[in-house]
Amino acid sequence: MASGSPGWKGYAVSIGVVLVVLATTGVWNPFPKIWSWIDTSDPIAPGVAQWQLSLGGTPQSVTITGGAVIVEYRTSIEAYGVGAGVKLWKSDADWAAVAGGEADAVVVVGRLLTKGYQVLDPRTGQVRRVDTTATGVWTYTNGILDLHCAKGNDCELTAWDPRGTQPLWTVPAPGIGFKLSADNPDLPDTKPLTANRVNPQVAGPAQMPSLIGLPEDSKVRIVNTAQGKVVQTATPASNQRIAVAGGRVLTVTGDARDGTCYYGVVANSPASNQTVWSRAGLNLRTAGNGSSCKQDRDPAGGSDVVLGVDPIGRPELLAAHDGRILWRGDKDQRVLAVNDANAVIRSADGTSLTGRSFTGAPGWRRSVSTKGQAALTPWAVVITDSKPDRVTALNPSNGSVLTEAKTSATVFAAGPGAMILVSGRDMAYLPFGASTAR
C-alpha cells in the first residue's frame, strides 16, 4: 500500500461520519433498521405463530376479545389486531380489564389512586362511557360492577351491561369504604388454580356469579346480582371463613385441637336462610400449614365447583350448590386445574394428565413429564411441559390438539380461536389448528 493512503480504517471512519451527518440532519437515518437487524428476536413458535411482534415493555396481562388483543402494561394499554398484529391504539392507564363477550366486548381502564374509569371499544379505543367517582370495578363476560363511596363508608354497588349507558341496579354497601379499589379487587369467593408458565389471567373474564360477597369489616354482605338486592349479611366467627360459590354462602370452620385442625363446611341458601348441605371433616384448604388453623385464603375452584380434601387426605371436587361429590381421587393424585365444566388431574405417578368433564363429555388422557402443568380456559386446556419445553392447547371435551409448539414461552391468553405466547418483550399469536411439535 502506498504511503499516505487512508486504508480501509480511514474509509470506514469517513463513511461513519457521513452516516452520522445524514442521520442528524434528517436526510436519511439508517440506524433504526440497522439496530432492528441486530436486535431481531428468535421466533417464539416457528411454523406455528401467525404473527410475532416486539412489545414496548413487559406485559401484565393479555386478553383476546372482540377482534383485538389487549395488552396491559404497568402504565399503559395497547390493542393489536388479531389478523396481523397491527397496533390499533394505545392509552395511558395504570390498570385495564376486559368485560363482555366477543360481540359486546369492552376494555375498562383507570388510574391508581384516582377515582373513576373509562369504558373503551377494543378495536378503536373509542371512549364509550366515562365514570369519575368509582373506586373499584369488577368485569365479567355479562356485565360490569362498580363501587362508589360518597363519604367514608357511604358506598353503593352498581351494575351495568358491558356496553350499557344506564345502570341496571344499585344497592347500598355501607361499611365497605375505600378498601376495594382498581380492577377486580379480591372478593370472598373461589380462586382458579395457577400453573407455571401460564399467566393467572389466561382465561379472561368469567360469567358474573348469581351471588357475590362484599367484605364489610368483620361481616360479608351478600348481593344477589340477578335481582340487584342485598339478601344476607353473614358474620363469621374468629375461626371461620366465608366463601360465596354456586349461589351458596359457604362457612368454613377450622378448630385447632390436639395439635391439628378439624374442619367443617356448611352451605347456606340466602333465599331461604336454610342450610342446603354440610360436611364434617371437609378441608377446603383455606388455611396454611401448621396447627393454628388461621384461614387466610379462598378455596380453589370455579364459580360452582370447589376443591377440597376429605378426612383421610383424598382430593375431592364438589358442586357448591348441592354438595355432590363430582370426583374423588387417591391421596397421591393432584388436581392441577378446575372450572365449572372440567378438571385436569395428574396421575399418582406424575406421568400423565387426565381430563374429566362434568358435562358428559368423554374426557381424555395425555402423557407428560413430572414437571408438566395445566390451566383451564373456556376454550382450551393449556399444558406446559419441559425437556423438551413445550406448550400445547387441547380441546377440553375430548383432548384433541388445537395447537402445539416447542417453546419455553409463557402462555398469557387463550381465546375462541387462538392463544398468545410471550417471551420477554416478544408476543406471538398462535391460531388453533397450527402445530409443528411432535
Per-residue pLDDT of 316-360, as tens digits, reads 999 999 999 999 999 999 999 999 999 999 999 999 999 999 999
* Side-chain half-sphere CA neighbours of 155 within 13 A: 24
31 against 224, higher pLDDT: 224
Indicate if the pLDDT at residue 34 is higher than 60.
no
By C-alpha distance, which of 192, 206, 176, 190 is closest to 252? 190
Q: Which CATH class is domain 93-185?
A: mainly beta
Instruction: Round to the nearest angstrom and report the end-to-end CA distance of the chain.
Output: 58
Coil vs helix vs strand at 224: strand
Cα 78 from Cα 376, distance rounded (Å): 25
What's the pLDDT band for 39 if we cut at 50, 70, 90? very low
Q: Which three cell numbers stand for residue 168?
A: 341496571
The CA distances from residue 178 to 156, 158, 294, 388, in Å, are 12, 15, 25, 47
What's the pLDDT band for 25 if we cut at 50, 70, 90? very low
The string of DSSP letters for 17-76 reads HHHHHHHHHTS---HHHHHHHHTPPPPSSTTT-SEEEE-SS--SEEEEETTEEEEE-SSE
Q: Which three cell numbers stand for residue 61?
A: 396481562
Indicate if the pLDDT at residue 282 is higher than 80.
yes
Task: State residue 171's pLDDT score.
Answer: 95
Identical topology for domains 93-185 and 190-331: yes
Residues of the chain with pLDDT > 90: what percent? 79
The CA distances from residue 277 to 89, 282, 320, in Å, are 50, 12, 9
Which residue has cell 354462602? 249
Coil vs helix vs strand at 11: helix
By C-alpha distance, which of 159, 185, 187, 155 is closest to 172? 155
Task: State residue 436's pLDDT score.
Answer: 53
By DSSP bridging, strand 134-140 and strand 182-183 are parallel
Task: State residue 293's pLDDT score.
Answer: 87
Architecture of the domain spanning 190-331: Beta Barrel (2.40)
28 against 139, higher pLDDT: 139
* Side-chain half-sphere CA neighbours of 128 within 13 A: 21
In our burial notation (b when 16+ CB lie closer than 10 A, e otherwise), range 324-342 reads eeebebeeebbbbbbbbbb
Mean predicted lDDT score pLDDT of the chain: 89
Q: In the chain, where are the structural domains located?
A: 93-185, 190-331
* Average pLDDT for 359-382: 95
Name residue 390's amino acid: R
CB 208 within 8 A of CB 420: no
Torsion angle (degrees, nearest 10) of CA 67, 73, 77, 78 = -50
Task: State residue 150's pLDDT score.
Answer: 82
What's the pLDDT band for 181 if we cut at 50, 70, 90? confident
Task: State residue 33's pLDDT score.
Answer: 41
Cα 404 from Cα 387, distance rounded (Å): 15
Cα 356 from Cα 376, distance rounded (Å): 12
Task: State residue 22's pLDDT score.
Answer: 45
What's the pLDDT band for 100 if we cut at 50, 70, 90? very high
